[in-house]
Structure 1
Amino acid sequence: MSTLQSDTNELSIVSELSAFQRQILAILAEEARYGLAIKSELEAYYGSEVNHGRLYPNLDELVELGLVEKSELDKRTNEYALTEAGHDAILTQLSWIFSRFVTDEDRAAEIRGLVDGVQ
């Protein structure tokens, strides 16, 4: 597959994700987590309760898309981790956003400042 086809496919997948799903990918980019830890992070982000009925179907869809890997920690707890495809999906989304946001050197400096602030 050519690089152009690969980039187009990644952008297509990313553009079909909901904001909620993109937030899950961002959370998992930091480290693998079990479902309730993801739920807690999302609740902190949204400032409201996240229902299990919303979280787990979205996690399952991300697993089906190959963006997240699900493994069993014990009989009752699953752990979710970002896959390489999930990592690439985040980069694709950021690249698309930056290509529209960074219109001059001042905006590029703002992005560099954000990156430097989290390192």
Structure 2
Amino acid sequence: MSLFELTAFQRDLLFIIAMVDEPSGQELKDQFEEETTATVNRGNIYPNLNTLTERGFINKESRDCRTNCYSLTQQGRSCLHQRHKWEQEHLAGAQQTV
């Protein structure tokens, strides 16, 4: 599974999970809204987290009886690194034309 097959929202969630230590869904929602100033519907975040879990990008573990926390898998970390490399290559080309 490639990072390019995910939605922009799902990719952004991966980046936020990478920068926060085992965040809950609510913590991810809050961080996403703080970073982007966009409002995230709670009904949107959990299905996307489930998709990322099912596709092997993140792990979901129970923090307590009511709260799950999320962390990147090796596949998730690898895909973020690939995306970063891809962006750097494209940005380098863009800087040469400016």
TM-score (norm 1): 0.73
Q: 1:57 aligns to what? A: 47
Matched AA of 1:67: F
Shift of 1:45: 2.1
TM-score (norm 2): 0.88
Q: 1:16 aligns to what? A: 5
Q: 2:78 aligns to what? A: 88
- Is 1:70 matched with 2:50? no
| In 2: Cα distance, 1:45 partner to 1:89 partner | 21
Q: 2:36 aligns to what? A: 46
Matched AA of 1:93: R
| In 1: Cα distance, 2:48 partner to 2:58 partner | 11
Shift of 1:62: 0.3
Alignment of 1:17-32 (within 5 A): 17-30=6-19, 31-32=21-22
Q: 1:99 aligns to what? A: 89
- List structure 1 runs of 4+ shifted beyond 4 angstroms: none
Number of aligned residues: 95
Shift of 1:28: 1.0
Matched AA of 1:64: E
Shift of 1:49: 2.0
Identity %: 34
Q: Which has the higher helix share?
A: 1
Higher gyration radius (CA): 1
The alignment yields a C-alpha RMSD, in angstroms, of: 1.7
